Structure 1
Amino acid sequence: MNECLPPFTLIDPVIFQIGPFALRWYAVAYIAGLLLGWRYMVALSRRPKLYVPQGVPPRGTPFNVEDIDDLLLWVTIGVVGGGRLGYVLFYQFDAIWERPLWIVTGIVEGGMSFHGGLIGVALALFFTCRNRKLDLFRVGDAAAVVTPIGLFFGRLANFINGELWGRPTDVPWAMQFANDPLGACRHPSQLYEAALEGVLIFAVINIATWKFRSLARPGMNAGLFLLIYGLSRALLETVREPDRHMPEALQGYVTMGMLLSIPMIFIGAWLIWRAWKKGPVPAPAVRETGKTEKA
């Protein structure tokens, strides 16, 4: 076996435990991502200048603090419920009849799907916007600004847990993972994902938002998020340990992560094209109730 960095054990995955209750960094990562994202969206709800082209007087923001507070609850349900169900359906389908109770109890050990969580969040956005009479594209664009925060913390938690490691490699920074029965030297792919899915996407979308007023182009930020994430994930799947649940004919060629990212790439590209074609559209003013005023 080639020499490589030892397993990362400086941080125990369990912060503390009292009886059967254990607080894990994995849970804290989700909580931190949701709370920081919520506060950032509240800040965006108070920046009307971001929703109009430069030089155009602001009329208001397309959502308010009350809307974001309501959205937080449903997004939390969407992230957790969608992420877990997506993991089971995409990666552990046999568990539905082999160990159905584990679908719920096993969540404390990890096992969440980003693509499932994304579907859950999309449903939360859709129904919240419909109920509160909000523009789905504009709220989705603001959500795209803050989502990379949660992705960054989530991937760091994957690294601390020693899960979702990369393929065997001989690069100088290869490392072992304590949970790996082979004890192989592997890519720390969780850190790659934290960098691309978290830092890179956050930087690109925030530059677009604050420097180029992309929130004035409904659908632009959501498109950037979907496109960059889809491309990044497809690329990172080449160094991430392949899924064991793909049909035998596809193993070695594509992974489930690649297949699930393809629709994201096309939808993201379409949203960017649509937003660019329509051009900047000043956001309508918002009353205290969260409903848009008539022009």
Structure 2
Amino acid sequence: MDTALFTQAAMAFPDIDPVLIQIGPVAIRWYSLGYIVGIVAGWLLARRMVDNERLWGGPSPIKPVDIDDFLLWATVGIIVGGRLGFVLFYDLGAYIENPLAIFEVWRGGMSFHGGLIGTTVAMVLFARSRGFDPWRLFDVIAAVAPIGIGLVRVANFINAELYGRVSDVPWAMVFPTDPTQLPRHPSQLYEAFLEGLVLFIVLRIATHRWLKLKSPRFVTGLFIGGYGLARTLVEFFREPDPQLGFLLGTGWLTMGMVLSIPMVLLGIALISTARPAPAASPETGTEAGR
């Protein structure tokens, strides 16, 4: 293959500064903005959902004030879980050698799967403190989570990180951070589309057309299984993390697949076991028989 011609045929990578605004030593990056906008947009949409009795078949067991109060819990769960997940799943050896680097979050290194675990722990603790079924909160947060996921994937693209494998497709790009300077799949955009836009639309249909908030676990299962499937598919186009490479000498198995395939199975199990919940009491908003 003629590498020069191969590279010349690639699409130009857009010249977007990863730093949106720089004021003295303070920099606002697209990456951090993706998290902020995703969390705030998810919070606002979740408030509307719990205030819409049509979606629940009566009063929601969760109130808008609960969503307001959970915002801080969710933020902590995402950041702490995402960081620890990256440390444990993707580069444990390096952090054992330099433990203080764990706290250097401004250098990057966040794991979706770790963030999911952190947020799940936060939801369980918060729901129990308020006295409602954690599955009800899982379903609401699952329905809005793709907003943030999609925005952060776009930010990954702007940062020219987590790019795809070498390819000759017409839309392949040469990423400025890639030492090989070969055209690659813009896999971050594949993830933004599948894990963000497509998954959000599917969950929106489930909550607003199928009214599946009436059946605890269904929306959560659809989110977990849908994300796991989308991420597994994209892993066939995404370059594996250099410190890990392909696992078990397979030439195709990645850590992303190992963490995502069980999500598909869990999602199927949750969907298949979801059943309509008892009607909520109009006076208290709590569900009967609980």
Partner of 1:179: 177
| Contact 1:14–1:25 (CA under 8 A) maintained in structure 2 | yes
Q: 1:248 to 1:17 in 2, by over 3 A?
A: same
Q: Residue 285 of structure 1: CA displacement? A: 3.7
CA distance in 2, matches of 1:98, 1:161: 27
Partner of 1:133: 131
Q: 1:101 to 1:281 in 2, by over 3 A?
A: same
Q: 1:234 to 1:293 in 2, by over 3 A?
A: closer
Partner of 2:11: 5
| Contact 2:247–2:254 (CA under 8 A) maintained in structure 1 | no
Q: 1:94 to 1:287 in 2, by over 3 A?
A: farther
Q: Residue 135 of structure 1: CA displacement? A: 1.1
Q: In the comparison of the two structures, how many residue pairs are matched? A: 282
Deviations 1:166-215 (A, max 9, x none): 00000000001110011010000000000000011101110111111111
CA distance in 2, matches of 1:122, 1:79: 9
- Report the aligned-residue RMSD: 1.8
CA distance in 1, matches of 2:188, 2:13: 13
Partner of 2:20: 15
Q: 1:281 aligns with which of 258, 277, 283?
A: 277
Percentage of pairs with the same residue: 48
Partner of 2:219: 221
Partner of 1:237: 235
Q: Tell me, which stretches of 5 or more residues in structure 1 are unaligned?
A: 53-57
Q: 1:179 to 1:247 in 2, by over 3 A?
A: closer
Partner of 2:45: 40
Relative contact order (C-alpha < 8 Å, sep 6+): which is higher?
Answer: 1
What letter matches 2:55 in structure 1? L
Partner of 2:62: 63
| Contact 2:247–2:253 (CA under 8 A) maintained in structure 1 | no
| Contact 2:246–2:253 (CA under 8 A) maintained in structure 1 | no
Q: Tell me, which stretches of 5 or more residues in structure 2 are unaligned?
A: none
Partner of 1:109: 107
CA distance in 1, matches of 2:93, 2:54: 51
CA distance in 2, matches of 1:88, 1:76: 18
Partner of 1:197: 195
Partner of 1:28: 33
Q: Residue 163 of structure 1: CA displacement? A: 0.3
What letter matches 1:292 in structure 2? T
What letter matches 2:194 in structure 1? L
Partner of 1:55: none
SS at match of 1:23: strand
Partner of 1:292: 286
CA distance in 1, matches of 2:106, 2:192: 21
Q: Residue 250 of structure 1: CA displacement? A: 3.7
Q: Residue 283 of structure 1: CA displacement? A: 4.4
| Contact 2:61–2:287 (CA under 8 A) maintained in structure 1 | no
CA distance in 1, matches of 2:205, 2:125: 29
Q: Residue 139 of structure 1: CA displacement? A: 1.1
What letter matches 1:284 in structure 2? A
Q: 1:237 to 1:61 in 2, by over 3 A?
A: same
SS at match of 2:241: coil
CA distance in 1, matches of 2:20, 2:97: 31
Query: TM-score, with normalisation over the residues of structure 1?
Result: 0.91
Partner of 1:271: 270
CA distance in 2, matches of 1:21, 1:287: 50
